[in-house]
Structure 1
Amino acid sequence: MEIKEMLDPNLILTNLEIDTKDQALKKLSQCLSEQGYVSNVEEFIEDIYRREAEGQTGIGNYIAIPHSKSAFVNKIGVAIGINKREIPWESLDDKGAKVIILFSVGDDTEDAKEHLKLLSLFARKLGNDAVVEQLLKAQSVDDVINAFA
């Protein structure tokens, strides 16, 4: 599995003007719902916040990867938001987030395995400074997809 295969252009939002973590999670969750990935936005967001309470999902370099396993996920997906400015987000380097990569993963055993694979794939790519730089500068859906190519 490659990241490019997992990216749905309908789940990539660029040039966002969001001010808070909550707004970011709602916007991306709503997008997942509209595309059929999530069945209940409010419950899905509650599951994300339960996971957020366990530990920060800001991985540094202005990137956050919120995720959880949720019964309200119809299919595995990845919503990506590129915000124009930094928003407050608990992170390893005390910087906020400009790039939010929200995973939608079900709570069954098979999805749990896929969840770990997904996190691993993205973590590898996001460890590359050139990929991060491309994401931070992304103006279009194609820019985001090409960053992960």
Structure 2
Amino acid sequence: MEITTIIDPRIVKTNMAAESKGDVLNQLTTLLLDAGYITDIEGFIRDIYTREEEGMTGIGNYIAIPHGKSAFVKEVGVAIGVLENEIPWETLDGKGVKGIILFAVGNDTAGAKEHLKLLSLFARKLGNDEVIKNLLLSKNADEVMKAFEL
């Protein structure tokens, strides 16, 4: 499984204007709904916040990977947002966030397996500072995909 085969340009939003975590999650979740990945915005967001209560999803270096297994997911997907400005987010390094990678996975056994695969795949890529730099400078979905090719 390659990241570039997982990224759907329909659920990538660059140059995002957002003031808060809630604003970002609403925008990205709307993309997921419009593209047919989820069936309900409010239910899906509720599941994300349930996961957020277990521990922070801001991994540092201006990146957050919010996620949560949800019955409202029809198809596994990854929504990616690149913000114009840093916003507050609970992170390991105490900095805010500019890049958000939101996983949409089901809450069944298959969803749990996909969830772990996606986390592992993205964690490896996001361990590379060059990938993060290119991601945060991306101006469109093509540039986001190129950032993950490193």
Normalising by structure 1, what TM-score? Answer: 0.99
For 1:40 and 1:59, locate their aligned partners in 2 and report how far apart those are by CA, in whole Å: 27
Letter in 2 for 1:100: I
Give the Å deviation of 1:24.
Answer: 0.2
Letter in 1 for 2:127: G
Aligned to 2:113: 113
For 1:110 and 1:76, locate their aligned partners in 2 and report how far apart those are by CA, in whole Å: 10
List runs of 5+ in structure 1 lacking aligned partners. Answer: none
Give the Å deviation of 1:141.
Answer: 1.0
For 1:142 and 1:62, locate their aligned partners in 2 and report how far apart those are by CA, in whole Å: 20
1:43-92 per-residue CA deviation (whole Å, 9 max, x = no partner) reads: 00000000000000000010000000000000100000000100000000
Count how many residue pairs are aligned between Structure 1 and Structure 2. Answer: 149
For 1:79 and 1:47, locate their aligned partners in 2 and report how far apart those are by CA, in whole Å: 16
Aligned to 1:91: 91
Give the Å deviation of 1:23.
Answer: 0.2
Look up the SS of the partner of 1:68 in the other structure: coil
Query: Does 2:66 correspond to 1:61?
Result: no
Aligned to 2:49: 49
For 2:142 and 2:2, locate their aligned partners in 1 and report how far apart those are by CA, in whole Å: 16
Look up the SS of the partner of 1:139 in the other structure: coil
Point out 4+ residue stretches in structure 1 off by more than 4 angstroms.
Answer: none
Aligned to 1:126: 126
Give the Å deviation of 1:8.
Answer: 0.3
For 2:139 and 2:4, locate their aligned partners in 1 and report how far apart those are by CA, in whole Å: 18
Query: Does 2:32 correspond to 1:32?
Result: yes
Give the Å deviation of 1:111.
Answer: 1.2
Letter in 2 for 1:38: I
Identity across aligned pairs (percent)?
A: 58
Give the Å deviation of 1:136.
Answer: 1.1
Look up the SS of the partner of 1:54 in the other structure: coil
Give the Å deviation of 1:140.
Answer: 1.2
For 2:67 and 2:141, locate their aligned partners in 1 and report how far apart those are by CA, in whole Å: 21
Letter in 1 for 2:148: F
Query: Does 2:131 correspond to 1:144?
Result: no
How much is the aligned-residue C-alpha RMSD, in angstroms? 0.5
For 1:23 and 1:59, locate their aligned partners in 2 and report how far apart those are by CA, in whole Å: 19
